[in-house]
Amino acid sequence: MNSTESKKSSTFVPYIPASRSLPELTLLSVILGIILAVVFAAANAYLGLKIGLTVSASIPAAVISLGVLRGVFKRKSILENNIVQTMTTAGEAVAAGAIFTLPALYMWKQVPGMGTVTFIVLVGGFLGVAMMVPLRRLLIVNEHETLPYPEGTACAEVLKSGETGGKNAKMVVYGFLAGGLVKAMGDGFKWFKTEIETGIYRFKNAVIGLDAYPALLGVGYIIGPRISGQMLAGGILTWIVLIPMIGFFGSGNPTALIPADMLYLSLMLGGFGKDISAI
């Protein structure tokens, strides 16, 4: 370690010093962390497989943790809240890693069993933790004034501003209930259509449509207008340029793909889900 790194490390002051003792790895924080990890992992897996995009759960988990631990159970330890958001973030991150890698096996007709999937996910999780342990001092302690870590900084500010945690948690819960209600009425009870499409005159196989996904409102709010605009541009490029080109140039292509009985044009019909989004 050079003198600059030593100076940065010596000036790093933790928010909770080692001399201060607070409840941290408690039964309540572990139970809440497991529950939120399962919920956000399922939500992230659904979003990733549906639209090819996942979101981090660290900030929502921190808000919910403050609302539950501080608002309901009157617990005021920031370390407990940090344990909850860490477990939740780890759960959704593992799910995101799984859905972006394991589908490749299915595309190659290699269907893994539940035991195999579980083993792969566990090994990936342990490798992530093992790789992060030696990098913590280098990337977090020594570079805490150099690397911005905007999401981590925002999450830390949420945890430190415990007074507003209950109010923000209510907003998350209200949004969750509203989105679930719309989804249940549309896709569950079929009270209204969530997908509308119509053909385009004189354009073969061309349609224009609109899908109503409440979850995407939350995703757009989290990722912001800049990244949302990039996603919109990518969607326009995919649907208006790339997939029509695949249909035009691949319509007469007799080359078989994996599996060997599938022609390229057949793959194009599910182009976004099986081809473009995988890229």
Taking the CA atoms of residue 87, residue 213, residue 96 and residue 54 in that order, the dihedral angle to the nearest 10 degrees is -90
Instruction: Show the tokens assigned to 94.
Output: 């593992």
Q: How many residues are recorded in the chain?
A: 279
Give the pLDDT score at 29. 92
Say how far apart CA 168 and CA 59 lie, in whole Å: 11
Helices within the chain (DSSP H only): 3-11, 27-51, 58-65, 78-99, 103-107, 114-136, 150-160, 165-183, 214-236, 243-250, 264-269, 271
- Give the largest CA-CA distance in the chain: 74
Give pLDDT < 50 ranges for the chain: 6, 260, 263-265, 268-269, 271-279
Domain ranges in the chain are: 3-188, 195-276
Instruction: Show the tokens assigned to 62.
Output: 């921190």
Residue 39: CA count within 13 A, CB half-sphere: 16
Interacting residues of 44 by C-beta distance below 8 A, sequence separation 6+? 54, 55, 57, 92, 95, 96, 99
The verdict on pTM exceeding 0.75 is: no
For residue 196, give the nearest of 213, 186, 209 by alpha carbon: 209
From first CA to last CA, the distance across the chain in angstroms is 40
For residue 61, give the nearest of 163, 139, 150, 151 by alpha carbon: 151
Interacting residues of 146 by C-beta distance below 8 A, sequence separation 6+? 8
Say how far apart CA 192 and CA 188 lie, in whole Å: 10
Mapping DSSP to helix (H, G, I), strand (E, B) and coil, where does residue 262 land? strand
* One-letter amino acid of 103: P
Say how far apart CA 206 and CA 208 lie, in whole Å: 7
